[in-house]
A = this chain, B = another copy of it.
């Protein structure tokens, strides 16, 4: 049985003895702030190095000192936004001397609570939630207790800081682009309806269509679609029922890839017979055939921005007022739209 203390048994006392000073002096010499004479400081440092001393975090925590680490609560490790978002968070964290610990909830609130507790007990200074939703109150609990949190991608309005996509704008732009190509008859393959981000996108699409006296036919609207499989099956269903849209808006690239597979099998040409457009611009979007025209989401920037704002809260450089940042991406024109 391994006991933690075996691993790193050298304590501040050992260093003190070796350096011929008191433990208090060792503590001061090793922390930056305090005033210690230069030669003693050097003696302490070399003793510490020699003994391979590392301060016991539990003891430091117990005294209330910070450990410069932030946590990320993810809903799902195979979320397409994950890699770039994490990169953004990490880059910002590292620049500021923080490390990042990631936990994955699998969209399970119970697991989430466990992980939040686990973070709290491990002296995490702040948490980024990619899981913020109404039925998920943990983030609000922490926020009420004045613990630094920020919502990323999903958020609960009028509560915490948040960094989100401007989903309404994205939906509007995508639709506008199709109309500019003379396309009028549009099918819409929507995501999980309970997520506000999807609601915003389709709402904007409808608004833009209405401006031109157009609308999405209910027969060509599919919702609560998850990823590849659902896109594929919905596309098969749509065309099997004899509907012939000029374009399909897919609420995510993965759905679009499923759609493309279905149309390949049905010998329907993209974009000659039907155009496909989506949201995300995942890595693979440019590699499939035809390459995807898609509304890129600035995942890296989102991650980085969320981390930056969380660190501001942790270091109290800002007022307590809620702040929400909406980020916009670029429409990437490729081959899937006529």
A residues with a Cβ closer than 8 A to B are: 1-8, 54, 56-62, 64, 66-67, 69, 77-78, 82-84, 86-87, 90, 94, 99-104, 106, 111, 114-115, 117-118, 120-123, 125, 142, 145-148, 228, 232, 257-258, 260-261, 264, 283-284, 287-289, 314-316
Q: Which of B57, B66, B257 contacts A122 (CB 8 A)?
A: B57
Contact assessment for A100 and B90 in the assembled complex, using a CB-CB cutoff below 8 Å = no
Q: What separation, in Å, do the CA atoms of A287 and B59 have in the docked complex?
A: 53
Contact assessment for B228 and A2 in the assembled complex, using a CB-CB cutoff below 8 Å = no
Q: Which of B3, B103, B257 contacts A99 (CB 8 A)?
A: B103
Q: What separation, in Å, do the CA atoms of A122 and B69 have in the docked complex?
A: 11
Contact assessment for B58 and A62 in the assembled complex, using a CB-CB cutoff below 8 Å = yes
Q: Which of B83, B90, B125, B148 contacts A78 (CB 8 A)?
A: B83
Contact assessment for A147 and B7 in the assembled complex, using a CB-CB cutoff below 8 Å = yes
Q: What separation, in Å, do the CA atoms of A25 and B94 have in the docked complex?
A: 44
Contact assessment for A145 and B6 in the assembled complex, using a CB-CB cutoff below 8 Å = yes
Contact assessment for B314 and A287 in the assembled complex, using a CB-CB cutoff below 8 Å = no
On chain B, the residues within 8 Å of A67 by CB distance are 118, 121
**Chain B residue nearest to A94 in the complex (CB):** B111
11 A-B pairs with CB atoms under 8 Å apart are A3-B64, A4-B66, A4-B123, A6-B146, A57-B58, A58-B60, A58-B123, A61-B61, A69-B118, A232-B287, A261-B288
Q: What separation, in Å, do the CA atoms of A123 and B56 have in the docked complex?
A: 10
Q: What separation, in Å, do the CA atoms of A188 and B288 have in the docked complex?
A: 22
Contact assessment for A2 and B101 in the assembled complex, using a CB-CB cutoff below 8 Å = no
On chain B, the residues within 8 Å of A78 by CB distance are 82-84, 283
Q: What separation, in Å, do the CA atoms of A4 and B69 have in the docked complex?
A: 13
Q: What separation, in Å, do the CA atoms of A115 and B111 have in the docked complex?
A: 23
On chain B, the residues within 8 Å of A114 by CB distance are 99
Q: What separation, in Å, do the CA atoms of A205 and B77 have in the docked complex?
A: 33
| Nearest CB on B from A281, distance (A) | 14
Q: What separation, in Å, do the CA atoms of A99 and B7 have in the docked complex?
A: 21
Q: Which of B56, B64, B86, B104 contacts A4 (CB 8 A)?
A: B64
Q: What separation, in Å, do the CA atoms of A185 and B260 have in the docked complex?
A: 32
